[in-house]
Copies of this chain bind each other. A is one copy, B any other.
Amino acid sequence: MENELLQELITCNNTKIAMIILDGLGGLPEVKGGKTELESARTPNMDALAEDSNLGLSIPVRSGVTSGSGPGHLGLFGYDPVEYQIGRGAMEALGVDFDLKPDDVAARGNFCTVDDKGYITDRRAGRLPSCESEKLISLISGICIDDVTFDVRMVKEHRFALVMHGDGLGSNVTETDPLMTDTLPLEARATNKDSEKTARLVNKFLAIVSEKLKNLIPANMITLRGFAQLPKIPSFKERYGLNAAAIAVNGMYKGVSRMVGMSVLPVHGESPADEFSTLESFWSEYDFFYLHIKKTDTAGEDGDFWRKVHAIEEVDMLLPRLTALNPDVIVIGGDHSSPAVMKFHSWHTVPLLMYGKYVRADCISEFGERACTRGSLGVIPAKDIMPLVLANSGRLAKYGA
């Protein structure tokens, strides 16, 4: 829906909305003619809810496009993921739980090896073990140059995320990784005027880091790439009038939620059951809850069909704890497909269930890809889900007389 129209129609009330996202939910059969992961899972609670719901299939970004989790979530949250793009560096920083602010500049970093002339001999410092990286990061994090601080946090092995915090920073800065060996790291260069300060300070930072690491072969230098700031994006409160909360275990999902102005709630533990406990604890405090399940995607990417099935079944068993709270609207869906047989994200449409007290139920008592094909929501862009959520919760006024 056009932003202006949405703004004109938004009203507020006391309804409660829950959006349960099973990461990479969509799947494929293991064998030709067989069932997908979701179809194979025993999901009596989802099936019962489906009976009273609308079913459909969502397109995360555009038809045929395999979506990353970032764009996939923007779509679910009602933001066109082509209009709002989260740069690589920002994504990396969100992924390691940086509380990235709108003016911060983030980048992806690598430890690398250089010879005594400064030429890169190994772009990944021999894939430095994470425990080694941790020690080095403590040496290069927290450096302050002029009024800008450089915070560094480990991602994995030789990879880290850098966040620059200060005034007057821009992210139009070229990468310092030459993407080949036997050459010097590149200088950072600003590609617009607003990023000149950033480039200048990045080069100073690199000189300081080089000095600090110089005797620490194999990780005696770093490269930086994917400089990015968060997109300027209206919050859930501004856009929908919703006080929204996020329940997620992994950094990136918390980060994307924070970016759209959700409160990120504490989860004691890492299991879906722990996340449902958080949901119960905070139920009275927010209008909208986004609850993220990671296991489904991890199993899909690992190619473990049955682990994905079991992850879905685990969520199904927890579902009565949600329905007991009597939400006005429940969405169950995914940010993209991750079929176990492909061991990767895919372009396939994603099963979608929308329960609401006033839905015109499809009376299909099954939640699965083929069942969703028969649903009345049809095949819709993920960004169209939120307007339907708002409608079903009575939060969109009549348009025109």
Contact = CB atoms under 8 A, between A and B. Distances in A.
Interface of A: 1-2, 5, 9, 26-29, 32-33, 36, 51-52, 57, 61-71, 81-82, 85-86, 88, 91-92, 95, 339, 342, 344-349, 358, 360-363, 369-370, 373-380, 384, 387-392, 396-401
A358 B342 contact: yes
A400 B349 CA distance: 17
A88 B400 CA distance: 8
A201 B92 CA distance: 63
A398 B64 contact: no
Given A64-B391, A378-B379, A400 B70 contact: yes
A399 B358 contact: no
Contacts of A347: 388, 391-392, 396
Contacts of A27: 360
Contact of A361 (B5, B33, B360): B33
A64 B349 CA distance: 20
Query: Counting chain B CB atoms within 10 Å of each CB, which of A345, A391, A396 scores highest?
Result: A391
Contacts of A66: 391, 396-399
A67 B360 contact: no
A234 to B, nearest CB: 18
12 contacts: A29-B360, A32-B52, A57-B376, A61-B400, A63-B387, A64-B384, A86-B400, A86-B401, A373-B374, A373-B376, A374-B374, A379-B380
A157 to B, nearest CB: 17
Contacts of A344: 398
A63 B2 CA distance: 11
A363 B373 CA distance: 11
Contact of A62 (B1, B51, B86, B373): B1
Given A63-B380, A358-B28, A88 B399 contact: no
B400 A81 contact: yes
Nearest to A81: B400
A16 to B, nearest CB: 18
A376 B129 CA distance: 46
A69 B82 CA distance: 32
A63 B384 contact: yes
Contacts of A64: 1, 384, 387-392, 396
A2 B81 CA distance: 12
A27 to B, nearest CB: 8
A295 to B, nearest CB: 19
Contacts of A61: 399-400
The 8 A-B residue pairs with the shortest CB-CB distance, nearest first, are A64-B387, A64-B391, A68-B400, A378-B379, A347-B391, A71-B400, A373-B376, A91-B401
B65 A399 contact: yes
Contacts of A377: 379
Given A62-B1, A64-B388, A65-B1, A360 B36 contact: yes
B370 A363 contact: yes
A44 B391 CA distance: 33
A51 B91 CA distance: 40
A5 B358 contact: no
Contact of A401 (B88, B349, B362, B363): B88
A347 B360 CA distance: 11
A342 B391 CA distance: 13
Given A345-B398, A360-B36, A400-B86, A5 B373 contact: no
